[in-house]
Amino acid sequence: MQSEPILQDLIQALRCLPGVGQKSAQRMAFHLLERDRQGAFKLAQSLAEAVDKIGHCSVCQTLSSADICGLCSDDRRDQQLLCIVETPADVMAIDGATSFKGVYFVLNGRLSPLDGLGPADIGLDKLVDRLKMGVIKEIILATNPTVEGEATAHYISEMAKKYSVRATRIAHGVPFGGELEYIDSGTLSHAFSGRSEV
Amino acid sequence: MQSEPILQDLIQALRCLPGVGQKSAQRMAFHLLERDRQGAFKLAQSLAEAVDKIGHCSVCQTLSSADICGLCSDDRRDQQLLCIVETPADVMAIDGATSFKGVYFVLNGRLSPLDGLGPADIGLDKLVDRLKMGVIKEIILATNPTVEGEATAHYISEMAKKYSVRATRIAHGVPFGGELEYIDSGTLSHAFSGRSEV
């Protein structure tokens, strides 16, 4: 087809979005050009600005446009409570859903020797420096309940022990609204072993 | 949450894409910033360029960065065959799937009196001018098989009659790979009334 190269470029560029294949990208391109040029213009600006300005917080490693992010520099938050998560998206999820008022530390990954990811690659040296400062009283491990996530949580809890900092792990069990019948066996056995007094 | 306003802007801007809600937009924003900044940069550029440069072809009304699009200006294509479609996406679909070597006319809509869309709004005055020129020998009506699409096709076929131009309609029936059992009754009755000699 003697097609418009600029349009083809746009379709190709849209495919960098997660979950967007050729068909969805075409649909998006036509939608933007035919029905929402203002939205497309705004999106182009927002993308350029975000790529240009957003880096990582030098304290907690989350995404931030400032050297120190809004969460770390907020003095109403409890600097003695440190929640460890794998990604900036986890920070957003936890901060949106819970009343946690401590600070975060984002690993931007997890220990994964097979992929060549060691402690330094996920910023654990930075975490050690922070533990040494003696401000932190409790570390809350909120890595994902996967093999690597659990291993990472275990590794960090050992680190915390060395500096006499309390380490806790978020609870894993049957999710609210879940039906026992359809819960996988791993979760169910975890829910039993982790039962608590009512 | 003391969240990054630039990040929130990006998430909001991504929601202009069709089928993208809050959660998908978040996922896209984090994916781009953490894993594909180059893709994000390229996308920003492509969007800005497309919005800036792509307009409508002055001959066939499809999306084009030139005054006359590549299809209309291609002299290997048969200017006597004119295929009428509703959207530029239809041009791409037909040109990708068929061996049609004529030219197109894009209505950018369909007759829809309830929405206040009359013949002039979908460029039918332009089509009349083209019919008057006497170059076109056959009009192929490829509007969608909806009520409005059918009405538009009928209206244009009447127009074509006035200028003694042959008007044909693409076939509607059971799609390839479709199973009769699951085909809607409208399509099935259409397939029967439109049967042809084998």
Contact A49, B9 (CB under 8 A): yes
- B115 at the A interface (CB within 8 A)? no
Burial class (CB in 10 A: 0-12, 13-18, 19+), B72: buried
pLDDT at A2: 52
- Best of A3, A52, A95 to substitute, by most chain B Cβ atoms within 10 angstroms, is A3
Which pLDDT score, from 0 to 100, does residue B2 have?
52
Complex confidence, ipTM:
0.86
Predicted pLDDT of residue A188: 86
Does any CB of chain B come closer than 8 Å to the CB of residue A92? yes
User: How far apart, in Å, do the first and last CA atoms of chain B sit?
Assistant: 69
Candidates A10, A21, A38, A55; CA nearest to B43 is A10
Task: Answer whether A65 sits within 8 Å of B6, measured CB to CB.
Answer: yes
Q: Taking CB atoms and an 8 Å cutoff, what residues of chain B touch A50? A: 6-7, 9-10, 29, 32-33, 40
| Cα of B75 to nearest chain A Cα, Å | 12
> Which tokens hold the place of B149?
């699409």
How many of the other CB atoms lie within 10 Å of CB of A179? 8
A75 at B interface, C-beta within 8 A? no
**Using one digit for the tens of pLDDT, what is the confidence trace for B81-109?**
999 999 999 999 998 888 999 999 999 88
Closest CA to A104 of A133, A135, A139: A139
Please state the length of chain B: 198
Q: Shortest Cα distance from B74 to chain A (angstroms)? A: 8
Paired tokens of A18:
């997660």
Nearest of B22, B3, B28, B15 to residue A95 by alpha carbon: B3
**Which ranges of B36-120 would DSSP assign to H, the alpha helix?**
37-53, 88-97
Distance CA(B108)–CA(B84), nearest Å, equals 10
Q: Please list the ranges in chain B whose pLDDT falls under 50.
A: 1
Identify whether the C-beta of residue A63 lies closer than 8 Å to the C-beta of residue B33.
Answer: yes
Residue of A34, A46, A98 to mutate for B, most B C-beta atoms under 10 A: A46
Strands (E), chain A: 55-56, 63-64, 78-85, 102-106, 138-141, 166-169
Classify residue A19 by burial, with Cβ atoms within 10 Å: 0-12, 13-18, 19+. Answer: exposed
Helix (H, G, I), strand (E, B) or coil at B163: coil
Instruction: Give chain A's length.
Output: 198
Match 């901060």 to its residue by tokens. Answer: A95
The CA distance from B99 to B111, in Å, is 28
Q: Which amino acid is it at A127?
A: L
Look at B2 and A74 and tell me if their CB atoms are within 8 Å: yes
Nearest chain A residue to B98 by CA distance is: A1
The Cα-based distances of B109 to A38, B115, B117, B121 in angstroms read 20, 11, 8, 8
Question: Which token pair is A43?
Answer: 């999106």
CA-nearest residue of chain A to B75? A2
Contact of A115 with chain B, judged by CB distance below 8 Å, is answered with no
Best to test chain A binding among B1, B4, B56 (most A CBs inside 10 Å): B4
Give the pLDDT confidence score for residue A197 in this predicted structure.
Answer: 84
Q: Tell the residue number behind the tokens 């960090």, with chain if given.
A: A156
Nearest-CA distance from A193 to chain B in Å?
33
Question: Which chain B residues have a beta carbon less than 8 Å from that of A1?
Answer: 71, 92, 95-96
Name which of B18, B26, B42 is nearest A27 (Cβ-Cβ): B18
Distance CA B77, CA B90 (A): 18
**Cα–Cα distance list, A108 to A158, B19, B130 (Å):** 20, 28, 60
All structural domains of chain A, each given as residue ranges with its CATH number in brackets, are 5-53 (1.10.8.420), 71-169 (3.40.1360.10)
Per-residue pLDDT of chain A (198 residues; tens, 9 = 90+): 457 899 999 999 999 999 999 999 999 999 999 999 999 999 999 999 999 999 999 999 999 999 999 999 999 999 999 999 999 999 999 988 889 999 999 998 889 888 888 888 888 999 999 999 999 999 999 999 999 999 999 999 999 999 999 999 998 888 888 888 888 888 888 888 888 888
Residues 6+ apart with CB under 8 A from B114: none
The pLDDT of residue B88 is 93
Of A16, A40, A63, the CB nearest to B33: A63
A68 close contact with B: CB closer than 8 A: no
- Asked if A28's CB is within 8 angstroms of B18's CB, the reply is yes
Give the position of tokens 């570390």.
A139
